Chain A
């Protein structure tokens, strides 16, 4: 079991490459968080993440305001290392209007905490939205979730993770008027029940006024 903080630094320009040496060869989840901004209003912005030149995926957010620094939707990426040599993470803009400067930051951490493959779901809005998973265990699991949403008129906005019809975790924030915001990502504990039947799991909201659309991306991971 190892959690290896890789770096936390300014994201001054694209592309940015950072070298690191993993301390273990176990299967891992790479946690990445970053901020950036858009040069135009109402544009999707994002940061592409690549490991040793191989694309892993992107952190994204729909930016309603131009020239406003935004926390992007943080994400986990599954990775595995076959050696303890130096490796390179490279960060590039996902869209032409994605910009960063010395006021932006990026951080990454390796979680080598389980040899059991996690359940990971990466839906695109709108929510509520559900899928099913097959429970691997009966007992505690680590839940990670992230995403973005908005509210017409602004207000208190809560996004929930629902398992088996019951809300098990929430992330809350005060939203601006109809502006997409990444809500604070969460690592929390959930108690799972073994079931031979698939269990419903998904994202919901704590109010009908919370909205999301195809510009909002979500991630949910159960790490056993």
Chain B
């Protein structure tokens, strides 16, 4: 059986005693689009830099295409990266930037130029080939950076928050460009971002990191609907988290006694243990239902077709309800008003965790 393209085996990275990445294990298959996300300082960029050979793991092993890469220097790897700052060479024009990797690989001038131009055309910026990169727009520079990384025909492309400097409308455009490219080329993309929308929009699988550790790996849907830790539940999407004691269980369901009442949730948990119910904001409804609780309106956030209402339960727990603007109807959302909220038992997700 052949090994996946990328294997991280209990990889650890320390900087002067600070553990940036802690026993991270992960496999990434060929042709997969994997997004690594988490808050700043979670170790996602360090993980990417280790894949690029810019940082060396303190412990553990990184294998790419079956070869141990721990001590292979960056220039001897085939893992081009698209940088957050783009890192285009300011003293070279767009075409020369794209040619750089080919030049380092010893290709002759004519061949370099041919390949670079082919990529610039593919990225629809061939007309700017001889322009100084400083004179290009953000989107054009982004395309030069992509062409520069892809022209060497890698099996693995690393992207470090490449869209973070772009305007919102360009981000959407570039997401489409990236997804299309990845499908067409069939190569593996490892994409680091702190933006959930970018990760969910493009990735086949997302890796959520927190404090140097991998908290969860799964498809965007899995991670969104079935967070495995409280951190993931809080980081991903807008979730309501209710913590309590398991007081009863029947086949496939447990009852949780929380400060806001007793609720039923699908799953198994030992009697007497502490657990939480996660209900995403878009599954929470206004009005009574299978599981009902009372809360007061704090504020609302109106984003076009969707409205998010923020409420506070009597014990101080913050609750969120997300719904279609037109489903809002006659509901009075004046701050301080009491509302009943409910969700169907099947929409709840059981979270078992020893520590928060």
Q: Do they bind each other?
A: no
